[in-house]
């Protein structure tokens, strides 16, 4: 008797491939071998670009917001995995490099709701840009991490689970906590990870 995976695996792959093609029809660019699990939340996808071999887990929200400018940019590189329930929304510009692994429930936003007018509820105030976000190649972002605008995360950086990143993260480093703090850096001379002091 055939194993359940042998029977249902090809059927599920067909369904996921069809779903991916349907939901990415209005994306700016979509590379080869991308896989999106249902249900993707996106209302303004025309400024989103996906590289090759991008995978999105269930119930992700990947979007652009045109409240600030007509052509915000969300560019996701090659071989990027975005875990279930994650949210990435660009109102200005977000760039994710190649070979980036994101765990579940990661939030990446380059904007916030303004709150400075105390005569209006925050919900009635416009969004404001916090600045461009760049995540370089080979990074890992742990579960529930939050990355806010105007930050540059260097190559092969590791962001710990539940961290909140509001400042630049050096390449080949480990950052954890709220707010994120540097705890390790790779020493190329000693060829090992060392505690940050």
pLDDT of residue 42 exceeding 70, the answer is yes
Average pLDDT over residues 63-77: 93
Residue 26 has pLDDT above 80, yes or no: yes
Q: Is the pLDDT of residue 4 over 60?
A: no
How far apart, in whole angstroms, are the C-alpha atoms of residue 172 and residue 188? 10
Question: What is d(CA 167, CA 47) in angstroms, rounded to the nearest whole number?
Answer: 26
> pTM to 2 decimals?
0.92
Q: What is the pLDDT averaged over residues 3-24? A: 79
The structure tokens listed for 154 are 């260097």
* Residues 81-104 pLDDT 10s: 999 999 999 999 999 999 999 999
CATH-assigned architecture of domain 4-195: 3 Solenoid (2.160)
Question: What 3 state SS string does the chain have?
Answer: CCCHHHHHHHHHHHHHHHHHHHHCCCCCEECCCCEECCCCECCCHHHEEECCCCEECCCCEEEECCCCCCCCEEEECCCCEECCCCEEEECCEEEECCCCEECCCCEEECEEECCCCCCCCHHHCCEEECCCEEECCCCEECCCCEECCCEEECCCCEECCCCEECCCECCCEEEECCCCEEEEEEECCCCEEEECC
Give dist(CA 89, CA 109) in Å, integer.
Answer: 5
State the average pLDDT for the chain. 93
């Amino acid at each position: 008797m055939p194993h359940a995976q042998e029977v249902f695996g090809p059927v599920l792959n067909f369904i996921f491939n069809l779903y991916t093609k349907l939901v990415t029809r209005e994306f700016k660019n979509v590379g080869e071998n991308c896989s999106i699990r249902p249900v993707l939340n996106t209302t303004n996808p025309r400024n989103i670009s996906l590289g090759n071999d991008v995978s999105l887990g269930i119930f992700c929200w990947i979007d652009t917001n045109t409240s600030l400018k007509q052509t915000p940019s969300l560019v996701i590189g090659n071989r990027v995995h975005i875990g279930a329930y994650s949210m990435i929304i660009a109102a200005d510009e977000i760039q994710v490099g190649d070979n980036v692994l994101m765990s579940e429930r990661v939030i990446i936003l380059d904007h916030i709701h303004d709150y400075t007018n105390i005569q209006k509820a925050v919900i009635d105030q416009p969004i404001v840009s916090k600045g461009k976000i760049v995540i370089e190649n080979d990074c890992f972002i742990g579960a529930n991490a939050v990355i806010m605008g105007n930050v540059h995360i260097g190559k092969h950086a590791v962001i710990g689970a539940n961290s909140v990143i509001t400042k630049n993260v050096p390449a080949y480093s480990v950052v954890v906590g709220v707010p994120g703090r540097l705890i390790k850096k790779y020493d190329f001379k000693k060829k090992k990870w060392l505690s940050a002091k």
